[in-house]
């Protein structure tokens, strides 16, 4: 099951997958980092749909830990799943780590409901939101492995590949080490 997780170093806006996950903020109206890159490469259609979401169901914005999908515009993907990671704060570690895990679970659930079989994730919260990379990687990988292993029966069965797209060799190395540690723990 866990072999359906892959790690690549690269730019998430270039991935040919069904759904690309965006590390957004609760406004859904764009930002820096991977969010900025997705809107730039995907074009204005994505923002238009985000604005419509804000005008309808998501008037107060998207809560941390939740996920919602839009078109992928001009990206080589069908959908963008926007999720809002928590800002890192050591004093509230447990609660916020739970929210970070929720980003991965909710994004996979939304993607699977749309019919996506392949999903690409960035390292949510590990950039501007300041989550220590090694811990962000451990939470990301453990949560996705759990979903694929049947923690969410529907999402787990629907997904053929969950690809982590890591920006730069350093973040790629961090994920690779975290992945080896997790696999080691499984025996
Ligand atoms: N492809 C893959 N990963 C990328 C790309 C890319 N094109 N660009 C950056 N990354 P961040 P966050 C990596 O800051 O910490 C925005 O302003 C980046 O190197 O994008 O969740 C939002 O609007 C890092 O490893 O997301 C929010 O306000 C990872 O993606 C806030 O930033 C996540 O970094 C969210 O902060």
- Are 109 and 152 in contact by the 8 Å Cβ rule? The answer is yes
Q: Which residues contact 40 (CB under 8 A, 6 or more apart)?
A: 13
Of ligand 1's atoms, which has the minimum distance to the CA of residue 12?
Answer: 1
Pick the catalytic residue: 35, 149, 152, 186?
35
171 lines ligand 1 (CB under 6 A): yes
Pull the structure tokens for residue 3: 């072999």
How far does Cα 172 stand from its chain's mean position?
15
* pLDDT tens sequence for the chain (187 residues): 567 999 999 999 999 999 999 999 999 999 999 999 999 999 999 999 999 999 998 999 999 999 999 999 999 999 999 999 999 999 999 999 999 999 999 999 999 999 999 999 999 999 999 999 999 999 999 999 999 988 777 787 889 999 999 999 999 999 999 999 999 975 4
Domain residue limits, the chain: 2-182
Q: Given this model, what pLDDT does residue 2 score?
A: 60
Q: Given this model, what pLDDT does residue 187 score?
A: 47
Nearest to 138 by CA among 97, 183, 179, 85: 179
- The yes-or-no answer on residue 35 being catalytic is yes
pTM greater than 0.85 (yes/no): yes
**Cα 107 to middle of ligand 1, angstroms:** 16
**Cα 32 to middle of ligand 1, angstroms:** 7
Q: List the CATH code of the domain at 2-182.
A: 3.40.220.10
Report the nearest-CA residue for atom 3 of ligand 1: 167
Q: Given this model, what pLDDT does residue 145 score?
A: 96
Of ligand 1's atoms, which has the minimum distance to the CA of residue 11?
Answer: 1
Q: Which residues contact 101 (CB under 8 A, 6 or more apart)?
A: 139, 142, 143
**Cα 171 to middle of ligand 1, angstroms:** 12
156 lines ligand 1 (CB under 6 A): no
């Amino acid at each position: 099951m866990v072999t359906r997780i892959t790690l690549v170093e690269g730019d998430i806006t270039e991935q040919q997958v069904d759904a690309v996950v965006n590390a957004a903020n609760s406004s859904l109206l764009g930002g820096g980092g991977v969010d900025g890159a997705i809107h730039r490469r995907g074009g204005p259609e994505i923002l238009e749909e985000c604005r419509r979401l804000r005008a309808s169901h998501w008037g107060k914005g998207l809560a941390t830990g939740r996920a919602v999908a839009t078109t992928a515009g001009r990206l080589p993907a069908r959908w963008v799943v926007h999720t809002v990671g928590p800002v890192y704060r050591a004093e509230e570690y447990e609660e916020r780590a739970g929210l970070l895990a929720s980003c991965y679970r909710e994004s996979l659930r939304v993607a699977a409901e749309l019919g996506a079989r392949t999903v690409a994730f960035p390292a949510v919260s590990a950039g501007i939101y300041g989550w220590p990379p090694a811990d962000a990687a451990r939470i990301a990988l453990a949560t996705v492995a759990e979903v694929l292993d049947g923690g969410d029966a529907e999402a787990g069965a629907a997904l053929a590949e969950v690809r982590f797209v890591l920006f730069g060799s350093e973040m790629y190395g961090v994920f690779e080490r975290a992945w080896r540690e997790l696999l080691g723990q499984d025996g």
